Amino acid sequence: MLQLLYLPVLTLLILFYFRLAVQFKIIDRPNQRSSHSRITIRGGGIIFPIALLLQALFSSLEYPLFTSGLLLISAVSFYDDLRPLSNKIRLLIHLIAVSLLFMQSDLLAYPVWIIILVYILVIGTINAYNFMDGINGITGAYSLITILSLYFINENHNSFVSIEWLIITALSLLVFNFFNFRKKAKCFAGDVGSVSMAFIIIFFLLQLILKTGDLKYIGFLLVYGIDSISTILFRLIRKENIFEAHRTHFYQYLTNVKSWPHLMVSALYMIVQLIVNLLIFYSDWDSVDFLIFIVVSGLVFLGLRFAIEGRVRLMGRGLEN
């Protein structure tokens, strides 16, 4: 109950940030790749690392290496929101931040091949999470479902992290969603929001997986994962540069081409991921069963994309139609 006091504090902090953002013109202007049509405050997701910094201070720096990595990756992401940053510098900072996260989780004690594989997966997930932040409500709603699912497991199944960290993360998401989950959003998460939230969720998931030894919890990011991976696959087929900005994710097609409301698409992604989370939690799958579930889910999603977007568009023509 005491942590509920964070709610008004975080609200005041994000309102203070809005004033600074307007003063220093930290805003997002629509362009040809945008899914919005009005100037909006950028970087509202800065409330996520601020919230966890407060928790770290009040918990006597319970997870110091994770907190340090979070502040480092958030700082470089916020700078990237203000002005373009070299990809090499960004990657270097991400590597350092992820290394701190691994040190906090004692992952560096594992065999080298496992460490390298997890580095690739984690950095890929962080970037995918960032690319998925393109419409009102999607990052806040999707992340809230994931955090609440982790909270439920922590309270009722396996305690893998101090519960206060999950609570403060959920509260920061509630505050952000109040200003972002709207038809006309007051603010966007920005790189600082999407990247920091990805970093936070990865830390919690890593703690859970290491505690239980169960890889099925990777599925808590399944919907984002299959959208991102399928989009990369189709872009490679079309011989596009996968590192260039684009708006060819499935959720972007639904909003930009089919004109589905942003909040409806965001809610759809949130609800589907909730259903997946419930299946994962209440299932008794072994590794083979989970792999089959992943493959079937991917095939269903691909079939859905072909049915709605069409083969011609996905395989290389008609991208602007």
Tell me the chain's radius of gyration from C-alpha atoms.
Answer: 19
Determine the Cα–Cα distance for residues 271 and 256; give it in Å rounded to an integer: 21
pLDDT for position 38: 66
pLDDT for position 57: 94
| Regions of the chain short of the pLDDT cut 70 | 1-2, 30-38, 317-321
pLDDT for position 320: 44
Determine the Cα–Cα distance for residues 107 and 118; give it in Å rounded to an integer: 9
The phi and psi torsions of 27 (rounded to 5 degrees) equal -130, 160
pLDDT for position 321: 41
**In 274-311, which positions are buried (b, 16+ CB within 10 angstroms) versus exposed (e)?**
bebbeebbeeeeeeeebeebbeebbeebbeebeeebee
pLDDT for position 28: 81
Determine the Cα–Cα distance for residues 11 and 296; give it in Å rounded to an integer: 42
Determine the Cα–Cα distance for residues 27 and 81; give it in Å rounded to an integer: 9
pLDDT for position 2: 66
